[in-house]
């Protein structure tokens, strides 16, 4: 069994950061700062309109490099060819409706569009525009054309836009853009549109079981892995429902419906309801096995010299219920954070759990070996009920998520999406 060693930082890469002419350009300053702090060489290529929102001195100060502004600057270096040829990633944010249209039609009327034509590395376009523009048939068509060519066009977030408007078309938060860019640098084929037309349900976070109005029984789950699974699924085309327990410090993934819960009983109710319409169910949440048999209505005072012993009762096994009540063709995936003991190692415990739960796939994480709880990276194994075992590489949780979705997508290919089938009532 391979143990996860210390996580090595990503090697420096060459990134072209294109800036479109939208008000959201100011948010990309944070994206640039984080990329350069990670050691990457970032060449900023703004459109003329972009420089009306954020000027060249800002981009140059943050990148430490001159801004590339025109087709006829540094002619001997042939920048409109060299930038794309030598880049490891081209990231464009915000990508306006105009930029999407010009890219889809292969225009080369400025340095940024010319760079898109010459790039042979992953291209990530992050749209930002008003909802009416994003939903216009012309934009929808342009996005389809770009995706058909292998360009990654990210799903925008929903929320407050320019002025009082609100809706789909908001630029995702810088952390999410960085996560997607980092994923593509690690794995260029991580975001195919192979989940388009599918509805998936994911649980995330750790449940809290009240002891009294102040205290609770909980666990160390941050919800990061579940959120990464949701983010990657949405960018691979799925309709995503995320049932989240106590993940207040995490930003909701763009294009994802989030349902917030607190206790294991809340989680069970929300998960069973959402699973009734899902092609795949991924139980990444750390659901408490036990809850206090009698939660105190008042704070338990420290002055009690001999406090009553804590009496616990079992919570429902949600994963087991999902397996028993699954839809025809539905893929059910469990997560197991394990530690070895005197009888079995982590992987042996995982194999036993896969059998006892009866799920299709089980992700096994070794707790305390550089992954699992309260960190940004993860590793482990993906176990299948047909006996196939895949070791998952150490890396960002979005990287592990992409490999999990590979396994799920391969299974879903065998079945058509369920139409009107419903989850049988849990017993």
Strand residues in 96-215 grouped as ranges (E): 123-127, 152-153, 157-160, 166-170, 199-205, 209-210
Question: Directed axis angle between helix 224-235 and helix 174-186, to 10°?
Answer: 80
Sheet of 331-338: strand order equals: 256-261, 239-245, 199-205, 280-283, 331-338, 361-366, 377-384, 389-396
Strand residues in 222-360 grouped as ranges (E): 239-245, 256-261, 280-283, 290-292, 312-314, 331-338
SS3 call for 105: coil
Which of the following is catalytic: 142, 219, 315, 378?
219
174 C-beta neighbours (distance < 10 Å), count: 19
Choose among 33, 91, 25, 92: nearest CA to 54: 25
Q: Which two tokens stand for residue 413?
A: 């290919």
Whether the bond between 94 and the residue before it is cis, its omega within 30 degrees of 0, is yes
Is 315 designated active site? no
Residue 228 Rama label (left phi>0; alpha psi -120 to 50; beta):
alpha
Choose among 381, 359, 361: nearest CA to 369: 381
Q: How wide is the angle at C-alpha 278 spanned by C-alphas 277 and 279, nearest 5°? A: 130
Task: Determine contact, residues 214/255, Cβ cutoff 8 Å.
Answer: no
- Whose structure tokens read 């070791």? 391
Question: Directed axis angle between helix 137-148 and helix 97-104, to 10°?
Answer: 50
- Whose structure tokens read 């930038």? 83
CA–CA distance, 229 with 203 (Å, rounded to integer)? 9
Q: Which residues are catalytic?
A: 219
């Amino acid at each position: 069994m391979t143990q996860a060693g210390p996580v090595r930082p990503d090697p420096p890469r060459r990134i072209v950061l294109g800036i479109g002419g939208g008000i959201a350009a100011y948010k990309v300053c944070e994206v640039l700062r984080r990329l350069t702090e990670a050691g990457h060489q970032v060449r900023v290529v703004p459109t003329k309109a972009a420089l009306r929102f954020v000027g060249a001195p800002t981009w140059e100060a943050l990148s430490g490099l001159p801004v590339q502004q025109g087709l006829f600057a540094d002619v001997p270096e042939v920048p409109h060819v060299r930038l794309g040829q030598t880049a490891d990633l081209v990231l464009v944010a915000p990508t306006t409706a105009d930029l999407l249209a010009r890219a889809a039609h292969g225009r080369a009327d400025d340095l940024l569009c010319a760079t898109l034509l010459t790039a042979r590395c992953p291209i990530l376009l992050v749209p930002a525009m008003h909802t009416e523009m994003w939903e216009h048939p012309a934009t929808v068509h342009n996005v389809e054309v770009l995706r058909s060519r292998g360009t990654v066009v990210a799903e925008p977030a929903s929320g407050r836009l320019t002025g009082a408007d609100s809706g789909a078309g908001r630029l995702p938060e810088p952390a999410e853009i960085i996560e997607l860019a980092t994923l593509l640098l690690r794995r260029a084929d991580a975001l195919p549109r192979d989940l388009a037309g599918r509805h998936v349900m994911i649980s995330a976070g750790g449940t809290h079981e009240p002891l009294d109005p102040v205290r609770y029984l909980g666990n160390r789950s941050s919800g990061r892995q579940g959120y990464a699974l949701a983010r990657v699924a949405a960018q691979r085309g799925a309709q995503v429902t995320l049932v989240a327990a106590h993940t207040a410090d995490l930003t909701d993934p763009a294009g994802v419906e989030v349902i917030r819960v607190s206790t294991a009983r809340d989680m069970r109710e929300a998960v069973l309801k959402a699973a009734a319409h899902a092609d795949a169910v991924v139980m990444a949440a750390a659901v408490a096995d036990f809850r206090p048999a009698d939660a105190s209505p008042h704070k338990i005072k420290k002055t009690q010299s001999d406090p009553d012993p804590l009496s616990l009762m079992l919570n429902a096994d949600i994963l087991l219920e999902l397996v028993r009540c699954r839809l025809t063709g539905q893929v059910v995936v469990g997560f197991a954070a394990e530690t070895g003991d005197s009888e079995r190692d982590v992987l042996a415990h995982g194999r036993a759990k896969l059998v006892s739960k009866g799920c299709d796939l089980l992700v096994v994480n070794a707790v305390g070996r550089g992954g699992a709880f309260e960190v940004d990276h993860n590793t482990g194994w993906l176990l299948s009920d047909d006996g196939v075992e895949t070791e998952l590489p150490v890396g960002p949780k979005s990287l592990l998520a992409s490999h999990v979705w590979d396994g799920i997508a391969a299974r879903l290919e065998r079945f058509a999406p369920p139409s009107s089938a419903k989850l049988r009532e849990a017993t």
